[in-house]
Structures are given as C-alpha cells and as structure tokens.
Amino acid sequence: MTLTADSAECLEGERERREGVDCVPCHPDHLPVVWPVVEPWLVKALAYGPDFFGPDDIKGLVADKTMILWLAIDENEIIGFCITSIVQYPRARVGDIHWTGGAQHKGRKWLDEMMDVLKAWARHSGCTKLGGGGRRGWINKYGFKEHGVLFEMEL
C-alpha cells in the first residue's frame, strides 16, 4: 500500500482521542529519525516469532512502502508502534498486523487507540478483515478469532 495524505485523513472523525495519544502512519522519509526509537521494541517483538525477518529487512520494507510503520505518540514522544501491510487473498483483502511494541513504562492503553486506527485504515483501504499473529491476549482483548497457531521447524 502506498502511503498518501488520505491514508491519515481517513482516520479523522472515526476515532476518539484517548489520553492525548495519536496513532499515525510514519512516512518513510522520517525513518532516520524514528527508527532508533522503534528498533529496540521491534527486536523484542521479533523474539516471539520465527526468524524470517530482521530489523533491517523490516526497515527496508517500510522504506519501500511494502509495509506501514504506525506510531503511537503521546505529547511528542513515541510510546509504541505497529507494523502492518495489506494482503490480497483470492477471497479477502486483509489488513495484516505483523509486529507491535512500545515503552513498558507507558502501559498498553495506546493499543486500544491503535486498534481503532488500524480498523479505520483497513476499512478505508478496502479490507474485509484485520488479522495478524501474536500472543493469545490479542484474542481476548480485541475479539479476534483463533484459527490455529503459528509454528516453525528447522530443516
């Protein structure tokens, strides 16, 4: 998905602001400034899944607009992130949440705002589903359905 001005504008009016937190897409031109903040959180998130990607791989995918880096910002401080993409399957267009993380001391309330923003973005992008992988807490808290588990094997 190519980031455009209307990608962010579509979100206005569809969400209510929670405790001053804004969740916005990061333009690839801003990666040199935000990546040093996001990368340590991403490294932690990557530890929970298969080693298919490294931080530099993901940075490249965000830079070429294959993936979108979303930032949770509270009073001009980045407190969390999500990385998403859109996957077109034969029977569904899916907003896919790949990795999420943030500052431990800031809590996780920003995730509620992020989920509202990602739902609006996915709808605006013509998606019929929002999906991803992660810990089971996502199922209970946000109402995702579990369809299996992700796993890997060394060959």
CA-based torsion, 60, 64, 65, 71: positive or negative: positive
Q: Say what the pLDDT of residue 140 is.
A: 73
d(CA 132, CA 122): 13
Pairwise pLDDT comparison (148 vs 18), residue with the higher score: 148
Longest C-alpha distance within the chain, in Å?
49
Q: Over 50: is that where the pLDDT of 5 sits?
A: no
pLDDT band for position 143 (cuts 50, 70, 90): confident
Q: Over 90: is that where the pLDDT of 151 sits?
A: no
Pairwise pLDDT comparison (137 vs 8), residue with the higher score: 137
Annotation: CATH topology of 5-11+18-141: Aminopeptidase (3.40.630)
pLDDT band for position 114 (cuts 50, 70, 90): very high
Can you give the residue ranges of every domain in the chain? 5-11+18-141
Q: Say what the pLDDT of residue 139 is.
A: 73
Q: Over 60: is that where the pLDDT of 6 sits?
A: no
Q: Over 90: is that where the pLDDT of 123 sits?
A: yes
Determine the average pLDDT of the residues in 91-117.
Answer: 90
Determine the average pLDDT of the residues in 41-45.
Answer: 95
Q: Tokens at residue 42, please?
A: 């991403």
pLDDT one-digit tens code per residue, 46-69: 988 888 999 999 999 999 999 999
Q: Over 50: is that where the pLDDT of 4 sits?
A: no
Determine the average pLDDT of the residues in 107-135.
Answer: 90
Collapsed DSSP state (helix, strand, coil) of residue 2: coil
Nearest to 114 by CA among 2, 30, 26: 26
* Angle, vertex CA 77, rays to CA 65 and CA 106, nearest 5: 105
Q: Over 60: is that where the pLDDT of 11 sits?
A: no
